[in-house]
């Protein structure tokens, strides 16, 4: 490479603009985990940094100058020290997502500690009580959405019960050049601000004109009116739009991030969804994936072609490429508004065909569990409609970025009176919908701690450790085998086998038109904390009364998903609750304190889908 090209390359690298390079240069080799040293101590610096993701400069927040930040690799059982220096102009704090740590180390400003003031250094210190794939991110305002996140890998004391030859982190995220506070202001300003797939009035009138008969016209009209009464739009699968760029390891699809392998090797891919806005469907066309961990916890192996990963979730999969060819790691958003992309290949410079994302999804009344329902009911949403729902929210800044427009934002005015404006829905349809999902309980009542099948564990010659042979996920109508929560089974039995002592109802509520989200119709500042006793066994019943999926994250404990697997229920720190469905989980807190509980779509959390849990 001549000196001019070398200088140009260095300049582009300094701006993070590899996407501007010619295709022959845009080859980014993934770093193998084996090359990352295990450490007990790290120094991290948080700062505003000029980034160039889309071809034009924009400000982001980085950790040690990069987005994502550096991998922290630890060993289970060790005490670790992480010194964090805040060079921002505002308070910050790092949350160790999924790690079981003392309450004062959890990193939520205003909840578990005061936060790290500008110019200060805070030292986190805790002992690692687990192994697996996790991540860390800011829990102050919308800083995470500006690029403030990074992966964690914790090596186990005992080897994992599955074999692999090399491993990579596949961190998924999204990026918008618009500062996150302005994105939120836009979402509050206009209904479906970034949803360019909404049916316009002319399109709706055309649908009526083109209907073949009166019955068809009535069906079109009635469907439209039902959505209008709910103040929703059937195309609202996510809050994002064309402005977003979807990244793998911080790189655009054109940059061809590549993980290398030798034919015949088993490769472990550690997927992390660090997106503040989007869920993804992950597949590697032509290469089956065996899921071996969910949220850092070993599970019975499940062979799939695709899995959905919610915001905050992690999945570890093993792939076994036998041919010397390239495979696309293809990760479209669930709304099919774009995709992240990488390559698994035996050498750099190779690529594979990129699949079509398929049609963009549209919700139906049946999806909402409301076909034929009377939508005239309304629930009390008092106190849930301030400008952002962030008033009084610990660690959340209610002010938009400098220059951010507040025009059109609802500043506490009551919603226009309309039937069903609060999106109130009974839990019965959700229960029925959940009952149709494999392994999902819909009763809401405490269930026996063990199923008959579980009684085999502990018999002579039987081990709590699951068999190595993977379960094959059932084939869907389109020929793909997709992971479902009902297929997840913990590799070892859970420590607490007691039946729940009581049930805690958590209704996920909100108003898409005014863009606020809530729990039990209340935002954080108007709600009392949930109370759970230290060591108490509690069944949490989450009922989604909205039209969007919510990945719910509970700090300080693993949630045991009630999916029919009894004492082998999978342990998760983040659980997707689909629209109009009910998901149940059991928890036993071992650490006291006040913990955060929120939707991990951070624009939902900051507008009210956030609650505190007091454990004493």
CB 113 within 8 A of CB 107: yes
DSSP state of 518: E
Dihedral over Cα of 224, 230, 235, 239: its sign? positive
159 burial type by CB count under 10 A (0-12 exposed, 13-18 middle, 19+ buried): exposed
**For residue 414, what pLDDT is reported?**
30
Q: Fold match between 31-159 and 427-449+488-615?
A: yes
Residues 6+ apart with CB under 8 A from 612: 111, 524, 529, 530, 594, 595, 596, 597
Report d(CA 266, CA 251) in Å as an integer: 24
Class of domain 427-449+488-615: mainly beta
pLDDT band of residue 241 (cuts 50, 70, 90) is: confident
Cα separation, 60 vs 83, whole angstroms: 21
Quick check: 601 and 276 in contact, CB under 8 A? Answer: yes
> pLDDT tens across 312-364, in order?
999 999 999 999 999 999 999 999 999 999 999 999 999 999 999 888 776 66
pLDDT of residue 229: 58
Q: Would you say residue 384 has pLDDT above 60?
A: no
Answering whether pTM is above 0.75, one says: yes
22 and 12 Cβ atoms separated by less than 8 Å: no
* pLDDT tens for each residue of 522-539: 989 899 999 999 999 999
Query: How far is Cα 46 from Cα 64, in angstroms, rounded to an integer?
Result: 6
Question: Whole-angstrom Cα distance, residue 269 to residue 44?
Answer: 25
Decide: 132 and 297 in contact? Cβ < 8 Å. yes
pLDDT of residue 5: 39
Query: What's the chain's length in residues?
Result: 616
Cis peptide before 149 (omega within 30 of 0): no
pLDDT value for 195 = 60
CA nearest to 96, candidates 67, 141, 70, 134: 134
Terminal Cα distance for the chain, rounded: 64
387-391, 502-506, 576-580: which has the highest mean pLDDT?
A: 502-506
φ, ψ (nearest 5 deg) of residue 269 = -115, 120
Q: Are strands 314-319 and 289-294 parallel, antiparallel or unpaired?
A: antiparallel
Which range is least confidently modeled, 69-78, 82-91, 373-382?
Answer: 373-382
- 94, 126 Cβ separation under 8 angstroms: no
Place 502 in a pLDDT band, splitting at 50, 70 and 90: very high
Interatomic CA distance for residues 598 and 184, integer angstroms: 17
Residues 6+ apart with CB under 8 A from 440: 434, 485, 486, 562, 563, 564, 583
Task: State the residue for tokens 């004109």.
Answer: 209
Which range (55-64, 216-225, 279-288) has the least confidence? 216-225
Residue 365 pLDDT > 70, yes or no?
Answer: no
Please tell me the class of the 31-159 domain: mainly beta
CB 509 within 8 A of CB 519: yes
pLDDT over 90, % of the chain = 64
- Give the per-residue pLDDT at 165: 97
pLDDT for 403-425, tens place per residue? 333 222 332 333 332 323 333 33
**Arithmetic mean of pLDDT over the chain:** 81
Domain spans of the chain, in order of start: 31-159, 427-449+488-615
What distance in Å separates the CA atoms of residue 219 and residue 139, rounded to the nearest whole number? 46
Q: What is the pLDDT of residues 153-211, one digit of tens each?
A: 999 999 999 999 999 999 999 999 999 999 999 888 866 656 656 666 666 677 777 77
Residue 103 pLDDT more than 90? yes
The pLDDT, as a whole number, for residue 459 is: 34
Q: Compute CA 60 distance to the chain's CA centroid, rounded to the nearest angstrom.
A: 20
């Amino acid at each position: 490479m001549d000196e001019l090209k070398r200088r140009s390359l260095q300049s582009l690298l300094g701006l993070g603009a590899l996407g501007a390079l010619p295709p022959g240069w845009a080859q980014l080799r993934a770093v193998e985990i084996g090359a990352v040293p295990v450490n007990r101590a790290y120094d991290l610096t948080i700062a505003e940094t000029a980034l160039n993701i889309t071809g034009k400069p924009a400000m982001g927040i980085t950790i040690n100058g990069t987005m994502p930040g550096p991998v922290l690799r630890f060993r289970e059982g060790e005490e670790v020290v992480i010194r964090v220096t805040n060079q921002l102009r505002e308070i910050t704090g790092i949350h160790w997502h999924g790690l079981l740590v003392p309450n004062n180390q959890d990193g939520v400003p205003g909840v578990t500690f005061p936060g790290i003031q500008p110019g200060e250094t805070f030292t986190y210190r805790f002992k690692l009580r687990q192994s697996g794939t996790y991540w860390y991110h800011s829990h102050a305002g919308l800083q995470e959405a500006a690029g403030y996140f990074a992966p964690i890998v914790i090596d186990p004391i005992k080897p994992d019960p599955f074999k692999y030859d090399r491993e990579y982190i596949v961190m998924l995220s999204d990026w918008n050049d618009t500062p996150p506070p302005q994105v939120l202001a836009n979402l509050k300003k206009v209904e479906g601000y970034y949803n360019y797939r909404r049916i316009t009035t002319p399109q709706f009138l055309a649908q009526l004109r083109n209907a073949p008969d009166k019955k068809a016209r009535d069906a079109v009209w009635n469907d439209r009116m039902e959505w209008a009464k709910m103040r929703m739009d059937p195309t609202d699968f996510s809050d994002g739009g064309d402005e977003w760029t979807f990244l793998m390891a911080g790189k655009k699809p054109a940059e061809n991030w590549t993980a290398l392998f030798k034919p015949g090797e088993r490769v472990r891919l550690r997927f992390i969804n660090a997106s503040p806005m989007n869920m993804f469907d992950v597949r590697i066309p032509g290469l089956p994936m065996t899921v071996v961990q969910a949220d850092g916890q070993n599970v019975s192996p499940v062979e799939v072609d695709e899995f959905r990963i919610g915001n905050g979730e992690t999945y570890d999969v093993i792939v076994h490429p036998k041919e010397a060819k390239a495979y696309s790691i293809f990760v479209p958003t669930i709304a099919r508004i774009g995709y992240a992309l990488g390559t698994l290949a035996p050498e750099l410079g190779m690529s594979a065909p990129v699949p079509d994302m398929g049609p963009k999804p549209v919700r139906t009344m049946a999806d909402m569990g409301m076909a034929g329902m009377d939508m005239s009911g309304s629930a009390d949403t008092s106190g849930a409609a301030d400008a952002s729902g962030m008033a009084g929210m610990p660690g959340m800044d209610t002010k938009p970025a400098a220059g951010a427009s507040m025009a059109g934002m609802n500043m506490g005015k009551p919603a226009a009176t309309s039937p069903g404006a609060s999106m109130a829905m009974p839990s019965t349809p959700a229960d029925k919908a959940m009952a149709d999902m494999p392994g999902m309980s819909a009763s809401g009542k405490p269930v026996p701690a063990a199923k008959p099948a579980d009684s085999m564990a502990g018999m002579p010659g039987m081990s709590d450790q699951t068999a190595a042979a993977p379960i094959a996920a059932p084939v869907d109508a389109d020929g793909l085998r997709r992971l479902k929560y009902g297929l997840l089974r913990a590799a070892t039995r859970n420590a607490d086998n007691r039946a729940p002592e009581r049930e805690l109802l958590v209704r996920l509520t909100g108003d898409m038109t005014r863009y606020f989200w809530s729990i039990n119709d209340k935002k954080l500042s108007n709600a009392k904390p949930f109370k759970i006793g230290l060591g108490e066994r509690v069944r949490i019943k989450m009922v989604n009364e909205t039209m969007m999926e919510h990945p719910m994250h509970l700090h300080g404990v693993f949630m045991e998903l009630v999916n029919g697997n009894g004492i082998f229920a999978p342990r998760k720190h983040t659980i997707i609750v689909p629209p109009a469905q009910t998901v149940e989980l059991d928890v036993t807190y071992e650490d006291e304190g006040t913990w955060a509980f929120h939707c991990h779509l951070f624009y939902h959390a900051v507008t009210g889908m956030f609650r505190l849990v007091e454990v004493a």
